[in-house]
Amino acid sequence: MKKKGETTVEYIQSKQNQRIKDYRKLHLAKNRKKTGKYLIEGEHLLEEALAYHASIEVVLVTSSYYESHVNDIDPINQSSTEILILSDEVMDSLAFTQHTQGVMALVKKESDKFSNKELIGSHYLLCDGIQDPGNLGTMIRTADAAGFDGVLLAEGCVDLYNDKVIRASQGSLWHLPIYETSNDQLLKAIQTAKLPIYCTAVNQDAEDYRKHIGSKCVLVLGNEGQGVGTYWMKEAEKSVYIPMPGKAESLNVSIAAGILMFAWKQWQGEPNNH
């Protein structure tokens, strides 16, 4: 081990190193939940995590990556972040992707304490039982792009810190509030904030979503197979659908979410010329 200023640099060449074995366990949701930590991979996600002040504890790099990016990596230490330099074999054993860029990081989760008074915005996306990590990450990224105030993860969703969720979000999970708690706590917060709930559905009571765009809302999109569950359907002010003039029977849930969020948030009665 050696020190460069405040930066601690340690070299690890064995896959059987205890720290590496512990980090490898974070590939499983139960261990991320137990430790309150997760791994991210790739230059872009590290840059986003740094830019939005995620709690990075350790940066892991290969020797070749460290040598070619030493001027970028050493300043990371300003918050006393530790640097681990791994052999290519060790990095490959930790990486989520087949062709790793040679850089990962260990990040501490944000506090999971949730107050019923935290919903101070006017537009939220609520994900009910979304199971595909690519869908959830894309929905978070799209909520960020559309200017929504936050994302609510109801019961049954895939783990927010699943690597595929993080990669699909492209860093948006650090850009806006994301609340992950029980249905009852979320509902109480929504009621406290006096936000109307709109659930997507295909039934005789559902209305064209365009009748309701522009108002404050909690938009609820449900599980890829079953749709929105009964818990949220019975709390909805309205159920809405997206008219489809083509022959497809349904839309991918993340595509549907994008259509609804952009329409809801940005509609001002006239097309935006920008």
Model pLDDT for residues 45-58, shown as the tens digit of each residue:
999 999 999 999 99
**Is the pLDDT at 28 greater than 90, yes or no?**
yes
Residues 104 and 50 in one domain: yes
Query: Where is average pLDDT lowest: 31-45, 182-196, 202-216?
Result: 202-216
Percent share of the chain, pLDDT over 70: 91
Mean per-residue pLDDT of the chain: 90
pLDDT per residue over 170-187, tens digit each?
999 999 999 999 999 999
Residues 254 and 128 in one domain: yes
Q: Residue 167: inside a domain, yes or no? A: yes
Residues 215 and 99 in one domain: no
Question: Does pTM top 0.85 for this prediction?
Answer: yes
Q: Residue 215: inside a domain, yes or no? A: yes
What is the Cα–Cα distance from 119 to 178, expressed in whole angstroms? 11
Residues 160 and 238 in one domain: yes
**Is the pLDDT at 272 greater than 80, yes or no?**
no
Domain termination site, one of 85, 108, 131: 108
- In the prediction, which pLDDT does 267 show? 63
- In the prediction, which pLDDT does 242 show? 95
Short-list 179, 161, 145, 172, CA closest to 265: 145
**Is the pLDDT at 249 greater than 90, yes or no?**
no
Question: Alpha carbon 115 to chain centroid distance?
Answer: 20
- In the prediction, which pLDDT does 142 show? 98
Residues 143 and 85 in one domain: no
Residues 219 and 245 in one domain: yes
Strand partners, 77: none
CATH number at residue 222: 3.40.1280.10
Short-list 249, 250, 240, 242, CA closest to 206: 240
- In the prediction, which pLDDT does 80 show? 67
- In the prediction, which pLDDT does 84 show? 94
Residues 147 and 200 in one domain: yes
- In the prediction, which pLDDT does 117 show? 73
Residues 149 and 88 in one domain: no
Residues 147 and 251 in one domain: yes
Residues 249 and 172 in one domain: yes
- Whole domain around residue 127: which residue ranges? 123-266
pLDDT per residue over 112-126, tens digit each?
778 777 899 999 999
**Number of structural domains, the chain?**
2
- In the prediction, which pLDDT does 5 show? 44
Q: Residue 192: inside a domain, yes or no? A: yes
